[in-house]
Amino acid sequence: MSRNKSFASRGGTTAASLGLPAPISGDDMCPVCKTIRYLNKDMEFLINPECYHSMCSNCVNRLFNDGPNQCPYAGCHRTLRRKGFRSPFFGDLTVEREVDIRRRVAAVFNQHEDDFETLRDYNNYLQMVEDLTFGLVSGTEARRRDAEAQLQQWEAEHKIDIERNRKAGREADELSRRRIAAERDAARQRRIEAIKEAEEEKLERVRNREAELDTMADAPEGGAGGGAGAAGAGGQRVELKRRKQTNRAGETGAAAAGSGGGAGAGAGAGGAATTSDVGRLSIRGLKDKRRAPAPEGPYDPFGGMDFVPSRYKLHEGLSHPQIDKYRDRAHNTGGYSFEEYAARAMYEAFAGLAVFIEDEKEVGIGLSAGKVAGISAGMAAVGSDEMEID
Amino acid sequence: MEFNIDDLPILFPYPRIYPEQYAYMVDLKKTLDAGGNAVLEMPSGTGKTVTLLSLIVAYQMYYPEHRKLIYCSRTMSEIEKALVELKALMKFRTERLGYEEEFRGLGLTSRKNLCLHPSVKREKSGSVVDARCRSLTAGFVKEKKEKGENVDVCVYHDNLDNLEPHNLIPNGVWTFDGLLRYGEQHKQCPYFTARRMMQFCNVIIYSYHYLLDPKIAERVSKDLSKDCIVVFDEAHNIDNVCIESLSTDITEDSLRRATRGAQNLETKINEMRDSDQKKLQDEYEKLVEGLRGADEGRQEDAFMSNPTLPDDLLKEAVPGNIRRAEHFVAFLRRFIEYLKTRMKVRQVISETPPSFLAHLKEYTFIEKKPLRFCAERLTSLVRTLELTNIEDYQPLQEVATFATLVATYEKGFLLILEPYESDTAEVPNPVLHFTCLDAAIAIKPVFDRFRSVVITSGTISPLEMYPKMLGFVAAVQESYSMTLARRSFLPMIVTRGSDQASISTSFQVRNEPSVVRNYGSLLTEFARITPDGMVVFFPSYLYMESIISMWQGMGILDEVWKYKLILVETPDAQETSVALETYRTACCNGRGAVLLCVARGKVSEGIDFDHQYGRTVLCIGVPFQYTESRILKARLEFLRETYRIRENDFLSFDAMRHAAQCLGRVLRGKDDYGLMVLADRRFRAKRTQLPKWINQALLDSDTNLSTDMAVSNARRFLKGMAQPFRARDQEGISTWSMGDLRAHQAKMADEQIRELQEREGEREFGGGVGGKGAGGNGDAESDYDMDNDDEAELMALDGR
Ligand code: SF4
Ligand SMILES: [Zn+2]
Ligand SMILES: [Zn+2]
């Protein structure tokens, strides 16, 4: 990995009008002391995010070791400090600066896709952020000030959400980092094992060959057959080992899949801003997280399915000679409810009415006829088995 | 001749048929009936193409579905050959049937081969031809022209619009030559004629890339329907084609040029903002709506191509932060700058896409999602800006394609950064390889889309390797043996020199003088006894060079020189073709020649040495791949982890398929004859990995020969071959007339009935069926085993 590039301070850049320097050409000569790389092989260039003027490390030490000093670039009057200097990540310093700004923006505008009602809202948000970033990076003086104000305002208003998202983001990063590392480790492990296995196999083969020779030596007559037998057995052993290896593949796959979820969980913030000053930001479509979630009702095992009959109505005091006999005491003692019984009788009577198999087939709800047939056939088969056992 | 397979009447344009051709047809029909994929290995020189075509055309014409055939081959010459065969077949059908069928067969190749524009066609490089053609034919160019602006257009292209779109060219089979001539006569562009007629063809013949390369496939092949029959011919290398089609290399230079491209884009955007703000706004709105532009329907003039993406993603709107043109360009620049920084690292890095993305995000705040849309967004922008000099944006597009791929696939790809060209190089020349490890990724859409895919070649053993590597299930897997009336080719494995010392090109011994001398004397001996042409294959250019110079020192080449002219293949295509020409002339006149070439070179893949052009092929050493390559190592590891194919198995398989290719070069028909000599002691253990038809002809007694034994064998064989051999001798054995075929069909029918009866019987007794095909697997596996030398060699390479 190439994370060896130091990338220290969070840029505290207040974007102000700077005549940005042209990217250092060939990065072979220090523009301050005019040393060329030829004379100093490991010359290193540093920049200070105050003004992004690059100079060699010698110059930096020379100029800033005794405390803050002015930037040596002609026309640049910024005061720089020694500890603000770092080596740039990008060759193109405009990009370096842009990324520093992005870091600030990203720290504030860190909403997730699932914080928004629709994808479109999210995309609009992304574009808004991008516009703002552009304003900071390359806007006119006025635009930049606006953008800066907007940024700060947003930050002030959504402190809690930002913090929460930041934390979630960190966790997600951590998680993915850990996952990548784990995968790498697992791969390394497997590699080692494969090598070991190959070695073993080779050893095995050598041993087999020796054994073969031995048997041949032992039994001069008819020895060949024995030898072949031994070799065969050896082969089988190798075979077994390979199968073992194959099984292992499945496990590792499952383990990797396990650590997937758990990112998400971002929170958003209020929609309409009430007061309006400098082109105050308002983002549409952000889910309103402030509204308390609807109180959870009691658990509904049927998931909202309604069992109120739609084709008939159950009236109190239903009476029919067939069922009236169940209304007596003898039936009710055990907690038996006559109403329950009546309801069920009606339900069964109406079940299946107004169900058209053709429709069901098209939509494909429930069991298809084929499946039902299959099941009953299966049950029949079970049944017959039992009978046989009997 | 005419005959039936089941109910299907087949017209076969020759009076006789080979038994293996018949078997091939039967299996092919089975595959088509059942729907499913097949892997078929048919000996070279037994008329595979015509067999395939006559069955499939018969199938097409007879059944009401009229399933279209997509026939893919590798090289332009193979495609042309297939077209000629098809043409002959259709002519025969017309004669037999007495009327001309409603049938259209077309081939497609690159613009470079089909262009008629007087100045464009003179360009040397294919991509320049493409780019120039696009700038003449793009939709907006035409609009401008209509508005009366003065722009260059191509008349050949514009004339097409005056024709009926589904009838640009009459029915019939059009070879490339024919197509060009027709185009010239009617002043219409052959390339676009073929492209646009693709949907209205019964048979399409083109190169693999039109189906496999996702960048091209999307545009050329998307209209083909699901029940098309797809055939990959000469498919023994298909996995490599798949992989190459998804891999990219990025260099410092390409990044520099990409930066320039991005800068140009920026200027263009600014220009357009001043002059024609509306176009940018239109594009922007379209992107907001998430519409794939309506004009994209006419994708043929699409400027750039996108790698395929999962469908769901394609329907999604482009992310908000790259919707605006200027945002997107800044995005690209950041990405390119990031890559530039990565290139500065001076150690080898190999990284998976997720880890690359994580690092990228940390340093540039580029998220995965916009990255995925990169290629598509760029295409859209280029179209909006109406850029004409597309070739300037090629590197930028490569970067965008890379971005899309790296963000789309987590598995099956690897990034490898190599700062130095070789281990000894002092000056860094970093290359970022984005390499695809999984051949199944590129070919998956093909298997998903089409019901029947047939993979076939002369040498595609072991058959089960291909379904494994390409991730599909084969309904039919068959390798045909070669029926011969006489033993017309003699494979031999030479393991020892004349001094009984074993010979091998394994790493430890390859430069030992005794081995080199033994190989030299093998060459001399065979040069002496071989009539006409002789081809020698070496495992690598490097080895070939070193052994040739050693032979030179030993005086071996002078010895060979007495019998034959010596010619050498070089990596330069031009030189090689001159050498080949000379070789051919020498074979037709006088003593003949020896061609020294490389088992993985151009010659081994595409050139046939039939009849006098090749009487002996001598394969010196097992042609293993160069294992030191990091990309290969990564692929091996991937194969092991994902498909449980062990490194050594794969290397051995790969070496043997190349060896088999080399051997197949000399035998191009049943009346042909030739010697096949495998000279390395390691071949002995690998013989089972040869294609069935070669392995069958290889006698056990011929697997462990010394040079002089092999030479005397060969002498005897050649003497036999010198006897007169009439076509009549083959009758009924290796060729069938109508009568023979009927007899065979009757016999098969009988057998089938018997089998059915038997099976009935078995079922009644409750006996187990099955178990038949299961055997043999066990020892097949151990066949891959390398012997110790191989391993030693691989390790030696590793440790270097
Ligand atoms: S349209 Fe056809 S003829 Fe014209 S430039 Fe393009 S390929 Fe050539
Ligand atoms: Zn300096
Ligand atoms: Zn400064």
What are the tens digits of pLDDT across the range B291-314? 555 344 444 444 444 455 555 555
Q: SS3 of A256, please?
A: helix
- CA B133 / ligand 1 centre spacing (Å): 5
Task: Indicate the residue of A1, A106, A249 with minimum beta-carbon distance to B349.
Answer: A1
Distance CA B366, CA A226 (A): 67
Angle at A51 between CA A47 and CA A53, to 5 degrees: 45
The residue-averaged pLDDT of B758-778 equals: 52
How far apart (Å, rounded) are the C-alpha atoms in residues B395 and B725?
59
**Higher confidence at residue B266 or residue B152?**
B266
DSSP label at residue B418: E
Please state, in angstroms and rounded to a whole number, the distance separating the CA atoms of residues B146 and B144. 5
Indicate if ligand 1 lies below 6 Å from the C-beta of B192: yes
B177 contacts B104 by C-beta, under 8 angstroms:
no
Ligand closest to CA A63: 2
Q: Superfamily for A1-91? A: Zinc/RING finger domain, C3HC4 (zinc finger) (3.30.40.10)
B112 lines ligand 1 (CB under 6 A): no
Determine whether the shortest distance from the Cβ of B136 to ligand 1 is under 6 A.
yes
Least confident of A157-166, B211-220, B402-411: B211-220
| B458: Cβ contacts below 8 Å, ≥ 6 apart | B41, B42, B43, B44, B45, B48, B234, B236, B664, B691
Give the model confidence (pLDDT) of B304-341 as tens digits. Answer: 444 555 555 556 788 888 989 999 999 999 999 999 99
Q: Which amino acid is at B772?
A: K
Pair B416, B630: CB distance under 8 Å: yes
Chain-wide mean pLDDT for chain B?
86
Task: Give the residue among B449, B446, B360, B362 at the shortest CA–CA distance from B407.
Answer: B360
* pLDDT at residue number B315: 65
What is the SS3 assignment for B90? helix
Give me the torsion for CA of B666, B670, B672, B678, rounded to 10°: 40
Q: Over 90: is that where the pLDDT of B486 sits? A: no
Taking CB atoms and an 8 Å cut-off, how many pairs form between chains A and B? 106
Distance CA B790, CA B528 (A): 32
Nearest-Cα distance to chain B for A8, in Å, is 12
Q: Sorting pLDDT into bands at 50, 70 and 90, what band is B13?
A: very high
> What is the reported pLDDT for B511?
87
A119 φ/ψ angles, rounded to the nearest 5 degrees: -65, -35
Q: Nearest by CB to B345, which of A2, A119, A190?
A: A2
User: What percentage of chain B has pLDDT greater than the value 90?
Assistant: 48
Q: Please work out whether the CB of residue B134 comes within 6 Å of at least one atom of ligand 1.
A: no
Alpha carbon of B432: minimum distance to chain A alpha carbons (Å): 14
- In A27-181, DSSP assigns E strands to 45-46, 55-56, 69-70, 79-80
For position B132, what pLDDT does the model report?
A: 85
Residues B652-655: contacts with CB within 8 Å, 24+ apart? B652/B686, B652/B689, B652/B784, B652/B786, B652/B790, B653/B462, B653/B465, B653/B689, B653/B784, B654/B624, B654/B625, B655/B622, B655/B623, B655/B624, B655/B625, B655/B686
The per-residue pLDDT for range B487-534, each reduced to its tens digit, is: 889 999 999 998 999 999 988 888 889 999 999 999 999 999 998 899
Can you tell me which residue has the tokens 């009459």?
B170
> Residue A43: which residues within 8 A CB-CB, separation 6 or more?
A30, A35, A37, A56, A57, A58
**Phi-psi region at B411: left, alpha or beta (left = phi > 0; alpha = psi -120 to 50):** beta
Residue B154 CB–ligand 1 contact under 6 Å: yes
In the prediction, which pLDDT does A251 show?
46
Hey, what's the torsion of the CAs at A275, A277, A279, A280, to 10 degrees?
Answer: -40
B324 contact A CB<8A? yes
List the one residue out of B566, B515, B583 whose CA is nearest residue B543.
B515
Type of residue numbered B631: I
Q: Ligand 2: distance of its center to the CA of A47 in Å?
A: 12
Contact B443, B264 (CB under 8 A): no
Residue B57 CB less than 6 A away from ligand 1: no
pLDDT band at A292; cut points 50, 70, 90 = low
Given this model, what pLDDT does residue B76 score?
A: 85
Q: Alpha carbon of B30 to those of A106, B11, B69, B114, B454: distances in Å?
A: 60, 18, 16, 37, 12
Pocket test for ligand 1, best of B112, B117, B121, B153 (most atoms within 8 A of CB): B117
Q: Does B321 touch chain A (CB under 8 A)?
A: yes
Residue B58's pLDDT is what?
A: 94
User: DSSP of B439-504, one letter per residue?
Assistant: HHHHHHHHHHH-SEEEEEES---STTHHHHHHT--EEEEEE-----SS--EEEEEEEE-TTS-B--
Distance between B311 CA and the closest CA of chain A, angstroms: 17
Among the residue ranges B145-159, B614-628, B685-699, B786-800, the one predicted with the least confidence is B786-800
Whose Cα sits closest to atom 1 in ligand 1?
B157
CB B442 within 8 A of CB B410: no
Of the CA atoms within 13 Å of residue B725, those in its CB half-sphere come to: 17
pLDDT of B787 > 60? The answer is no
Task: Give the range with max mean pLDDT: A176-190, A199-213, B558-572.
Answer: B558-572
Are B63 and B711 in contact by the 8 Å Cβ rule? The answer is no
Please say whether the beta carbons of B273 and B186 come within 8 A.
no
Q: Which residues of B touch A127 (CB under 8 A)?
A: 320-321, 323-324, 327
What angle (nearest 5°) sits at the alpha carbon of residue B689, between those of residues B687 and B695?
Answer: 55
Instruction: Give whole-number Cα distances, B428 to A41, B416, B433, B555, B647, in Å.
Output: 16, 15, 15, 41, 30
Tokens of residue B154, six digits: 């191509």
The C-alpha atoms of residue B634 and residue B782 are separated, in whole angstroms, by 24
CA–CA dist A193, A173 (Å, integer): 30
How many CB atoms are closer than 10 A to CB B431? 16
Indicate if the pLDDT at residue B712 is higher than 50. Answer: yes
Q: Say which amino acid occupies A165.
A: N
* HSE, side-chain direction, 13 A CA sphere, residue B255: 22
Q: Per-residue pLDDT averaged across B718-738, rounded?
A: 81
Q: Is the pLDDT of residue B140 over 60?
A: yes
Rounded average pLDDT over B664-693: 90
Q: What is the pLDDT of residue B297?
A: 41
User: What 3-state class would DSSP assign to B572?
Assistant: coil
Place of tokens 């990063």: A173
Which residues in chain B touch residue A92, judged by CB atoms under 8 angstroms apart? 333, 337, 340
Compute the distance from residue B118 Cα to the ligand 1 centre, in Å.
Answer: 9
The pLDDT > 90 percentage for chain A reads 9
- Which pLDDT tens digit goes with each residue over B44-94? 878 889 999 999 999 999 998 888 999 999 888 889 999 999 999 999 999
- Helix, strand and coil content of chain A, in percent to the nearest 5, comes to 55, 5, 40
Nearest CA-CA distance, residue A89 and chain B, Å:
7
pLDDT in tens, B16-39: 898 999 999 999 999 999 888 999
Token output for B417: 């950064």
Instruction: Tell whether the model's pLDDT for residue B423 goes beyond 90.
Output: no
- Is the pLDDT at B247 greater than 80? The verdict is yes
Chain B residue closest to A201 (CA)?
A: B785
pLDDT at A282: 67
Q: Which residue has the tokens 């998307």?
A: B222
C-alpha–C-alpha distance, residues B532 and B588, integer Å: 7
Instruction: For the beta carbon of residue B335, count every other beta carbon within 10 angstroms.
Output: 23
B419 in reach of chain A (CB within 8 A): no
Q: Are B206 and B108 in contact (CB under 8 A)?
A: yes
- Choice among A296-305, B143-152, B564-573 with the minimum mean pLDDT: A296-305
- Residues ≥6 apart with Cβ < 8 Å to B712: none
> Is the Cβ of A238 closer than 8 Å to some Cβ of chain B?
yes
Question: Any CB–CB contact under 8 A between A120 and chain B?
Answer: yes
Query: Could you tell me how far CA B344 lies from the centroid of its own chain?
Result: 35
| The residue type at B691 | P
Burial B765-795 (b: 16+ CB within 10 A, else e): eeeeeeeeeeeeeeeeeeebbbbebbbebbe
Both tokens assigned to B92:
């025969």
Taking CA atoms, B97 is separated from B2, B67, B92, B328, in Å, by 11, 20, 8, 61
Q: What is the mean pLDDT of residues B135-144?
A: 81
The minimal CB distance from A176 to the residues B341, B358, B640 is found for B358
**Domain boundaries of chain A, sorted by first residue:** 1-91, 161-270, 324-382
Question: Exposed (0-12), middle (13-18) or buried (19+): which is B636, by Cβ within 10 Å?
Answer: buried
pLDDT at site B800: 41
Amino acid residing at B19: P
Distance (angstroms) between ligand 3 centre and the Cα of B263 equals 26
What pLDDT does residue B594 have?
Answer: 94
**pLDDT of A23-59, one tens digit each?**
444 467 888 888 887 777 778 889 999 889 988 888 8
State whether the beta carbon of B123 lies less than 6 angstroms from ligand 1: no
In the sheet where B413-418 sits, what is the strand order?
B248-251, B431-436, B413-418, B349-351
Render pLDDT for B102-116 as a digit per residue (tens, 0 to 9).
Answer: 899 999 998 999 999
Q: Closest Cα partner for B5 from B619, B551, B21, B303?
A: B21
CA-to-CA distance for B201 and B224, rounded, in angstroms?
10
Name the residue in chain A with its Cα closest to that of B285.
A124
Question: pLDDT tier at B214 (50, 70, 90 boundaries)?
Answer: confident
**Residue in B320, B330, B788 closest to A124 by CB:** B320
- Interhelix angle for B76-97 vs B48-62, to 10°? 50
What's the whole-number mean pLDDT along residues A299-311? 72
Please work out, in degrees rounded to the nearest 5, the angle formed at the alpha carbon of residue B442 by the alpha carbons of B440 and B446. Answer: 90
**pLDDT tens for each residue of A91-141:** 889 999 999 999 989 988 888 888 888 888 898 899 999 999 999 998 888
CA triple B406-B409-B411, angle to 5 deg: 115
